[in-house]
Amino acid sequence: MELKIPTPEQAYWGLRAMKTVALADGVLDDSERHMMEAVQRIFGTTYSPQEIAPITPDELARSFPDPHLRQQLAQGLIVMSLIDGKANAQETNLVEQFAQALEVSALEVKGLRHVLKGEIFQLRLDLVRRFWLRDKVKEIWNTEGIGGLYTFMRGMLGAYEDTALAARYQALKHYPSGSLGRAYWEYCRKNGFALPGEKGGAPEQILFHDCAHLLSGYGTAPEEEVQVACFSAGFQRRDPWLFVFFVLLQFHVGIRMTPITEARTGFFDPTKALIALRRGAAMTVDLNNGWEYWPVMGEQVEELRRRYNILPAEAFYPASFSNTSEKPRL
């Protein structure tokens, strides 16, 4: 994605909108306060809570004309409305009003209404229609036909085995230490994941997600799954905010969006999420769009990070983290 950094004045207008949404239910709780603090840390502003006055949707629209920043802010307001772990009617209504005034038609706003009304089946259906899975299925259908699609779906269910394919991935054990291939083999064995072709192994078409873990350095704990999703949103060229909305629901609000992972609550840390988003946005390649991993399996992970401009999290630490005790554990 193209992540645009607002000026201090623009950030102030956005913070006013965020505070307005947070106060819609009459309370600015600790999670909402932390969200506003995180935004200020990352964007370099230092407004006190008392300085940040509420704002109406129409007033914001008149003072906030940049269309790209409008889109980003609408997504931030969605996160703010759910950061306390639940959907609220007053906050949802305000998010919709702000989106309408800003002329932003983000589908996540519609998803927020589904969350509020408990329409989980419709919510899942809408997200699946847009998720990367749809594009993968279309690509397989166009290149491999019904046979390829059958194999892919069996792989998604963990019911497909291919000894020749498994042998190719098992051979990654012998790749040089520090290479992407060796790192992938170690990652699967360490976490108890079957390799593609082995029983229970994921289809090759979704291996880009595991490569995102390896190249970003984020692990597989719930909090790190949130970060790798935000990192992936950053490098995605198409519909990037879907990743953020998905993990916010799955790992923070506690709505199970995938059959292979249990829903969790309270794992969306705004500071870490924003840093991960910025790391992904700085990349020069979209791992989910045209990137081929086999040609680089023998290359060192550190070299690939340099080539793809995957910067360490510390590169995006705000100045307030100069005190070591304040640095997030990423």
Domain spans, the chain: 8-118, 132-326
- Taking CA atoms, 196 is separated from 139, 143, 206, 232, in Å, by 18, 19, 10, 21
Residue at token pair 């510390």: 314
Whether 282 and 234 have beta carbons less than 8 Å apart is answered as yes
Provide the strand spans (E) within 39-87: none
The Cα 330–Cα 314 span in angstroms is 9
Assign domain 8-118 one CATH number from 1.10.3470, 1.10.3680, 3.30.450, 1.10.8: 1.10.3680
Whether 318 and 40 have beta carbons less than 8 Å apart is answered as no
Q: Write the burial class of residue 319 (CB in 10 Å: 0-12 exposed, 13-18 middle, 19+ buried).
A: exposed
- Taking CA atoms, 269 is separated from 244, 253, 297, in Å, by 12, 12, 32
> Which string of b and e fits 64-80 if b means at least 16 CB within 10 Å?
beeeebbbbbbbbbbbb
Q: Check residue 153 and give its pLDDT.
A: 57
Q: Check residue 321 and give its pLDDT.
A: 60
Residue at token pair 């999670």: 31
Q: Check residue 324 and give its pLDDT.
A: 44
Q: Check residue 155 and give its pLDDT.
A: 54
Q: Using DSSP, state whether 105 is helix, strand or coil.
A: coil
Tens-digit pLDDT profile for the chain (330 aa)?
Answer: 889 999 999 999 999 999 999 999 999 999 999 999 999 999 999 998 888 999 999 999 999 999 999 999 999 999 999 999 999 999 999 999 999 999 998 889 999 999 999 999 999 888 877 765 556 556 655 677 776 555 655 555 555 788 999 999 999 999 999 999 999 999 999 999 999 999 888 888 789 999 999 999 999 999 999 999 999 999 998 889 999 999 999 999 999 988 778 999 999 999 999 999 999 999 999 998 889 999 999 999 999 999 999 999 999 998 766 554 455 554
The Cα 14–Cα 240 span in angstroms is 20
The Cα 300–Cα 291 span in angstroms is 17
Handedness of CA 78, 315, 44, 102 (dihedral sign): negative
Q: Using DSSP, state whether 86 is helix, strand or coil.
A: coil
Residues in the chain: 330
Q: Using DSSP, state whether 300 is helix, strand or coil.
A: strand
Residue at token pair 């699609």: 149
The Cα 81–Cα 114 span in angstroms is 13
Q: Tell me the residue type at 302.
A: E
Whether 297 and 181 have beta carbons less than 8 Å apart is answered as yes
Copy the structure tokens of residue 261: 């992972």
**pTM for this model (two decimals):** 0.89
